[in-house]
Structure 1
Amino acid sequence: MYIEDFSGVEKTGVAIANYLLGAIETIGPSNVLQVVTDKAANYKAAGKEIEKVHKHIFWSPCCVHTLNLLFKDFSTSFYWLMTTYKRGKVVEKYFLNHNHALTMFRDNSTLELLKVAKTRFASYYVLSRRLMDCRKDLSTIISLNSWRDWVKQGDGNTKIIGSKVVKTIRSEEF
């Protein structure tokens, strides 16, 4: 049975297979060559069921999802990578969460800082790459008198994290 809205349905292999088989029947099996899902066991089971019913259709795990899991594994396997990511996340959050800092950034950069979620593809890489692309602009901002004056006027947390942001941006390792 093909269900148009799959939300609220328990995502078992059987339920997913039935949903996808309904969609395949609606589209027409001759118009489908492949089913791509994430690689969780329930989706893999659904893919195998579809392959049994339609011999010409094959299941494969999503390449992007697989690569994202690989990047996640790298970040937990290499201490320096996780440390760099966490430091970059502090910089990103500081600018995005403080309107005055974000305004200074936008006044000095042609790029935008990206708010990436861990569930997005290669979020560790995307965040780090964007900060590298903006490093010159970030260095310019933290050297401005208006930046120093603004940080000095902030509350204790703004000053402490602002100091960490400056150290990170100036750091050669980062």
Structure 2
Amino acid sequence: MYESGVPFHSIDNDAFKKLVEAIGQYGQGYCPPSQYLLREPLLKEEVGRTKGLLKKQEEEWARNGCSVMTDGWTDRKRRSIMNFCVNSREGTTFHSSAECSKDSHTGQFIFDYVDKCIEDVGAQNVIQVVTDNAANNMAAAKLLIEKRPNMFWTLCAAHIVDLMLEAIGKEGKFKEWITKAKTLTIFIYAHHWTLALMQKFTKCKDIVRPEVTRFATTFLTLQSLMEKQEKLKHMFTSHEWTQSKWSRKKNGTGAYAIVISRSFWNGVNLCLKVFSPLVKLLQLADGDQKASMGFLYGELQQAKEDIKMAFNNVEINYRSIIEIIETRAKGRLDSPLHMTTYLLNPYYLYKDQSIKDNVMVSDAIFICVEKFFRDDIDKQDQVINMELPKYKEKEGNFGRILAAKGCSENSSSYDPGML
């Protein structure tokens, strides 16, 4: 089997049956392969196959650059583990993992680990390092920028948007409805009888829908409640409910009051209108179907406009929410790298030509070009004074109908990185 060059893991059921039959036909005296033959050569073969799969990604790193991503977490045995991954247009690749339970996670410690990963990947290939915004990561960022001034240290967009949602969710106007929604779902799921009754009326559909982040789960639960509004009302006014012991208990009467309350459902509807644009941004940042960097700043601006519309553009009603978004985004989702990719995404520039005259955007692209081509003035001159004007003015291929048509599609399907 191994000598034939067919990896063991790739054999299907039919082939495996034939293998067993062949062994049986051989009869007594068959000498199975040794543990070494089953383990060592096959392992080496698998390592070689994996390296072959990585080759395409490594070529992409060298051609268009890549991002180094690091994340620390604690496993069930309370061990502290740090993971490193490399992301490019070809996808995300696991690089390495280190147990660091005995180490103090200082900025210097994180920097040393990240820097070693950068050396392994190739410093010339790395454009940015992505982490969350913990204080020790910020200290490591300063050390990295000092050593490698041509790189960016970028904060995880999904983490930032999730923090935005949590902060907004704590606002009085939303906290009340979220708390009541949690009270209702906890009551239903805490008892077998109420859960069975809910599933009867919803045709076995659940309310709680787990997601990657805690607040995304909260949003999906609110969305699910809204979708099942009528079914839940029928449940709490049904004969089964009124005859049950739960209809007379305190937590049961509380759940009933929530479900029949018009103000509760209006509040949930408002929550969804406000949270939906940011959840959409969260899903974009946390997805892996396409490179999201070029859409983050543009979709953040669109999310703010959608939230304003949810309040009928009455500033006094949306002001605190926009302040939360802008405070969390400042220096995190409006970095020079975010602004530059925003400009270089035709999806936005072709719709709004005023972007190219934005002072912040212009400053951002100068910063990026100076970083990318730090010691090459001629290359900086070529990009800023020759190539960029062609793109801004839609000269050559940038002006073709086909180029503009692609940008008119929905941002969820359009990927400028594939052009």
Aligned residues of 2:132 and 2:159 also touching (Cα < 8 A): yes
Amino acid at match of 1:169: V
The answer for the alignment partner of 1:127 in structure 2 is 221
Q: How far 1:170 moved relative to its partner?
A: 0.8
- Partner of residue 59, structure 1: 153
1:173 match: 263
1:29-68 CA-to-partner distances (Å, cap 9, x unmatched) read 3443222222122112222323333334311222222122
The alpha carbon displacement at 1:130 in A equals 2.5
Q: Does 1:82 align with 2:175?
A: yes
More divergent stretch after superposition (26-35 vs 129-138): 26-35
Partner of 2:197: 104
TM-score by length of 2: 0.36
- TM-aligned CA distance change 1:172 to 1:3, over 3 Å: closer
In structure 2, the CA distance between the partners of 1:53 and 1:171, relative to structure 1 (3 Å rule), is same
One-letter amino acid matched to 2:240: S
Task: Report the Cα offset of residue 97 of structure 1.
Answer: 1.4
**CA distance in structure 2 between the aligned counterparts of 1:127 and 1:62, rounded to whole angstroms:** 24
Contact 1:92/1:115 (8 A) holds in 2: no
Q: Which residue of 1 aligns with 2:367?
A: none
Cα shift readout 1:8-28 (whole Å, capped 9, x = no counterpart): 533222222222223333333
CA distance in 2, matches of 1:7, 1:138: 48
- What residue in structure 2 maps to residue 35 of structure 1? 129
Q: Distance in 1 between matches of 2:100 and 2:239?
A: 55
Aligned: 1:20 with 2:123: no
Unaligned residue ranges in structure 1 (runs of 5+): none
**Residue 95 of structure 1: aligned partner:** 188
Q: Please state whether the residue corresponding to 2:99 is helix, strand or coil.
A: coil
| Equivalent residues of 1:67, 1:122 under 8 A apart | no
Structure with more strand by fraction: 2
Calculate the aligned-residue CA RMSD, in Å.
2.7
Please name the residue that 1:138 is paired with: 232
| CA shift in 2, pair 1:108/1:34, >3 Å | farther
**Does the CA contact (< 8 Å) of 1:37 and 1:43 recur in 2?**
yes
Report the alpha carbon displacement of residue 126 of structure 1 after superposing the two structures with TM.
3.3
How big is the shift at 1:155?
10
Q: Residues 129 and 152 of structure 2 are in contact (CA less than 8 Å); yes or no, is this contact kept in structure 1? A: yes
- The 3 A distance-change label for structure 1 pair 25 and 85 is same
Partner secondary structure for residue 257 of structure 2: helix
Q: Secondary structure at the match of 2:243?
A: helix
Q: Offset of 1:85 from its aligned partner?
A: 0.8
Identity of counterpart residues, as a percentage?
Answer: 25
- AA in 2 matched with 1:83: E
CA shift in 2, pair 1:27/1:100, >3 Å: farther
1:76-105 residue CA offsets vs partner (Å, 9 max, x unmatched): 3x3121111110110111112112212222
- Unaligned runs of 5+ residues in structure 2 are 1-95, 265-419
